[in-house]
């Protein structure tokens, strides 16, 4: 009788141990599955973060330089329509979109030698690289750029003007109405390879005689424009 009871207890204990062992194994499998899912999520997050970090690092220098440039330029309106402002806002930090156009709000009655022309009415300034207060365009990134400028003169006037990159004349035109009782308009254009930070502007000739007036009004505009190719 005692042996039978002892055997019964041994059997019950064995079943209990087996059941507990199975529970431990099931619990372990569940933990492994949870850990695997957790690791997969961490790996996915790490991959996303690495991709974002790589993308940010590739543009960090250019974006920083561009933001510094934008902060250094006084705020100005570049258009009246909401669509235009929205486009400029979207394109402000796009390295592939750089373009500007501005003209003199009024003529110059007594232009002097080596006078930088400040085209103060800015109609287009995508990329915010042109500063109407200084009259200068600063290249936001390396690239090939096209520029064009137009100078209009009053009667019996002649104006020699230059497009200057940093301190070097790069292009020049003459607008001559000296011997006629009429207005004249001349346009020059150049294509130049610029480095980041190069400055481009229009000035009168530093040594040639300047005579008469520069005109800019509704029927004729003295203007300056450029864009990145």
Q: What is the DSSP string of the chain?
A: -HHHHHHHHHHHHHHHHHHHHHHHHHHHHHHHHHHHHHHHHHHHHHHHHHHHHHHHHHHHHHHHHHHHHHHHSPP----SSHHHHHHHHHHTT-TT--EEEEE-SS-BSS--TTPBP---EEEEEETS-EETTTTEEE-SSSEEEEEEEEEEE-TT-EEEEEEEETTEEEEEEEEE-TTSSS-EEEEEEEEEEE-TT-EEEEEE-SSS--BS-EE-BTTB--EEEEEE-
pLDDT tens digits for range 28-73: 555 566 566 656 665 666 666 565 555 544 444 444 544 555 455 5
Q: Which of 34, 54, 72 is the last residue of a domain?
A: 72
Q: 55: exposed, middle or buried (C-beta count within 10 Å: 0-12, 13-18, 19+)? A: exposed
Instruction: Locate 129 and state its tokens.
Output: 């690289």
The pLDDT value recorded for residue 33 is 64
pLDDT tens digits for range 9-21: 556 555 554 555 5
179 or 122, which is more confident: 122
- What does the pLDDT average to over 202-223? 91
Q: Are 31 and 98 members of one domain? A: no
Q: Are 19 and 66 members of one domain? A: yes
Q: Are 134 and 214 members of one domain? A: yes
The whole-chain average pLDDT of the chain stands at 77
* Strand partners for 124: 101
**26 has pLDDT over 60:** no
Contact 214, 153 (CB under 8 A): yes
Domain hosting 7: range is 1-72
The candidate with the shortest Cα–Cα distance to 111, out of 213, 185, 31, 200, is: 213
Q: Are 97 and 163 members of one domain? A: yes
Q: Are 134 and 161 members of one domain? A: yes
CATH code, domain with 107: 2.60.120.40
The pLDDT value recorded for residue 91 is 46
Of all residues in the chain, the percent with pLDDT exceeding 90 is 45
Q: Any idea how long the chain is?
A: 229
Instruction: Locate 98 and state its tokens.
Output: 């750089």
Q: Are 96 and 136 members of one domain? A: yes
The pLDDT value recorded for residue 52 is 58
Q: Which of 72, 93, 109 is the last residue of a domain?
A: 72
Nearest-angstrom CA–CA distance, 99 and 117 = 18
The pLDDT value recorded for residue 60 is 45
36 or 182, which is more confident: 182
**195 has pLDDT over 80:** yes
Q: Are 181 and 115 members of one domain? A: yes
**81 has pLDDT over 80:** no
Q: Are 65 and 178 members of one domain? A: no
**96 has pLDDT over 50:** yes
Count CB-CB contacts under 10 A for residue 74: 8
Structural domain count of the chain = 2
Q: Are 191 and 94 members of one domain? A: yes
> Taking the chain, what is the end-to-end CA distance rounded to the nearest angstrom?
103
- What does the pLDDT average to over 148-169? 92
- Given phi > 0 = left and psi -120 to 50 = alpha, else beta, which region is 135? left
Q: Are 131 and 215 members of one domain? A: yes
Dihedral, CA atoms, 43, 44, 46, 51, nearest 10 degrees? Answer: 140
Q: Are 82 and 153 members of one domain? A: yes
Q: Are 128 and 190 members of one domain? A: yes
**151 has pLDDT over 70:** yes
The pLDDT value recorded for residue 157 is 85
Q: Which of 51, 72, 93 is the last residue of a domain?
A: 72
* Strand partners for 25: none
């Amino acid at each position: 009788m005692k042996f039978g009871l002892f055997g019964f207890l041994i059997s019950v204990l064995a079943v209990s141990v087996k059941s507990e062992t199975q529970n431990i194994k099931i619990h372990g499998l569940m933990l492994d599955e949870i850990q695997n899912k957790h690791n997969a999520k961490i790996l996915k997050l790490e991959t996303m973060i690495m991709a974002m970090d790589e993308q940010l690092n590739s543009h960090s220098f250019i974006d920083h330089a561009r933001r510094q440039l934008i902060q250094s330029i006084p705020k100005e309106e570049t258009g009246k329509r909401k669509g235009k402002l929205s486009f400029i806002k979207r394109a402000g930090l796009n390295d592939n979109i750089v373009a500007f156009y501005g003209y003199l709000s009024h003529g110059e009655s007594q232009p002097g030698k080596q006078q930088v022309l400040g085209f103060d009415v800015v109609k287009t300034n995508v990329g915010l690289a042109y500063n109407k207060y200084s009259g200068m365009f600063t290249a936001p990134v390396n690239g090939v750029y096209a520029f064009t400028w137009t100078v209009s003169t009053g009667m019996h006037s002649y104006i020699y003007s230059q497009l200057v990159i940093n301190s070097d004349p790069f292009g020049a035109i003459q607008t001559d109405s000296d011997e006629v009782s009429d207005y004249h308009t001349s346009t020059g254009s150049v294509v130049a390879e610029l480095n980041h930070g190069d400055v481009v502007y229009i000035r009168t000739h530093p040594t040639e005689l300047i005579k008469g007036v520069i005109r800019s009004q509704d029927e004729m505009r003295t203007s300056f424009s450029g864009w990145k190719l």
